[in-house]
Chains A and B, each alone.
Chain A
Amino acid sequence: MPAHRRRIALAAATTVLVTVPGCGLITAETGPNTLTVADYYTAEPGNTALTEILRSCGEETGVTVVREVMPRSQLVPKLLRDGAADTLPDLVLSDNPDLAKLASTGALLPLDGRVDTDGFYDSVLAAGSYQGDLYGVAPGVNGLALFYDRRVLADAGLQPPTTWDELRETAAALTGDDRYGLALSAIGTEEGTWQFEPFLWGAGAELTDLDSPEAETALTFWASLFADGSVSSSALNWQQSDVAEQFVGGHAAMMINGSWQLASLDAQQDVDWGVVPLPVPEAGDQPATPLGGEVWAVPEGERQERAVALLDCVLAPDNMLQWARLRADVPAHPDVAARLVEERPDLAPFVASAPSAEARTAELGTGYPAVSQAISTALQRVATGQLDPAEALARAQREAADAS
């Protein structure tokens, strides 16, 4: 019996191994006229929007486009390894703070004069530049704003807050039995840092000087939201998508989140929501939000010209509008942005902050990841009561200095 069985098993195994390569289980080969795109748009609506736009631009420029989709945290490691192995994809859609380190490798093609970026927001171009050269272009950008539950605020007879003091009072007033006043992300990654940066910059602090009195002011205020109990300490483990879920589930009356949530908020029926610019320290201050969003970059290589042609198509006004519409991004060109605001007025707060939005890597370049890590760790140390803001920032400054 054993020999008999084994023969059957062997035959089965052989059959499988012989037949499956035919079904393409071994490799995912690409044809000669194919461009590969690496991105992390794993989720909807970005996923479909990207596939769609690449398909139509591929047709227009006569190439087949294949996406390599991976989780956000994997993109940069993959690209670095690809660089070493000389197997870079033809186009990259990366988070804009990561652009500096990619550009610093020398692997990217400078885009000045190669793609048409006339009239784009300066802030958008700044976020795509490294040492004075343009390496990345974003068709749409995003930023942070304050979302609020209209019904809850109306029941409490409150207006959406515009200043820090109002934010703190409103959040405390709206905190109830199974509802927190405010939800935000304080996770120990770049997402947490990015959500704190409006506070940091709002207080006048700089990423290069983390232990300044201004930074202490910002962190002290931010921590007071936790100390008041207005923000759940679970925020330390929330990504921004989790924050949105809390809000939609009715567990938070307000949330800090990005414009890309507009699309998924549209899709749900549970919460009647509104959106306003982020509160500022004093009435009349300008909101200082970091510029978010992904930039297209083209690694140097044999197919760079075709890649640039494809990118030009993606950046054309109609495609930009369609992209931003699906993603609920702010289009990179003011005219296109104006067209989109007519369609969806709730994008207005984001469009308003786009020109003044700051690129996170503007000052720090490739040093940004280490500083970002130091900041998110400091946030967690303070929110959990391990250190007070001054101590945590002093330590963050030391860590950031050590690391760079």
Chain B
Amino acid sequence: MISFIIRRLLLLPVTLLGLTFLIFFFTSFLSPYQLLSAYVQDPRQLQGANVEKLIEKYGLKKNFMVKYGNWLEKIVRGNFGWSLSLNEPVIKVIGQRFPATLELTIYAIVPVIWIGIWLGVVAAVHHNGVIDQILRVVALLGYSIPAFVLGLLILFIFYGVLGWLPPGRLDQWAQMIVYSKNFHQYTGMITIDALLNGNIPVFLDALKHLIAPILTLSYLSWAGLLRITRSSMLEALGQDYIRTARAKGLSERVVVNKHARRNALIPATTVAGMMFIGMLGGVIITETIFNYPGIGSFSAQAAEQFDYSGVLGVAVIYGLVTIIGNLIVDITYALIDPRVRLG
């Protein structure tokens, strides 16, 4: 087990290096002037005669490896450049917005795992029955509705028609409280901060704004998890040890819950981890529709406004989170399933 983890950890820096190389490779399409904002921390540097000097300094007209090396050095020191779309350092934007995105994804993934696995087990137990067919159609509908359509429909019904779930992250009055001096931002995740500050109205307001994005973000995923759990559960139910358990005279509930489900959950674990990562990509659409200020809506905005350093910075963060997420998934998988670490 330990050697498995060490092997994976040793590969981590290689993957990270490859990742930054891949991201930076795509900047080859940019002119030195377009790329410059990825190197500076202060917009005043981007004025007048200074520009040529900076291009010279960072080697932006030289070969690719020089540019890449200079950029990587900055990134490692936490300097992600200057965001032209928000007029702030990119790292500051990410620092402010990442907790918002994390908050959204965590709230979205928890119900997905519960509901998805539960429905998958139900579908498998009633294989080809009425429930199975209904769930199959609902799940299919699930991934046939793209997030931007579903999100707009939710916005249309729950905000346009009913006026219940407004876009944004907080109402005006709650914003005044959250950004006042008396309110301590411990984590940047407003629901948690509100509880830590003992402010229930703000907590409820933040929660109210989260419902619609959570629905949009999680809908696709629980359909996927349902299918995976269903098929692995079906596979488990066809195994010899299930027949043995039934032959022993165990009740159907024990057979399903104790014998089959435990084994069926192994693939579901990996998929749930991958889903969390998928959701980090899905937030781009969801956050844009609901005007939710996370890194997803920032990346869309930056892309639209040719904010190259913003897009680069977000991509590095996304890659970092994904690689670490995958590592955790792999290790969990190896912990649950001995065949992986021995193989």
Bind each other: no
Q: Which residues of A contact B (CB under 8 A)?
A: none
Q: Which residues of B contact A (CB under 8 A)?
A: none
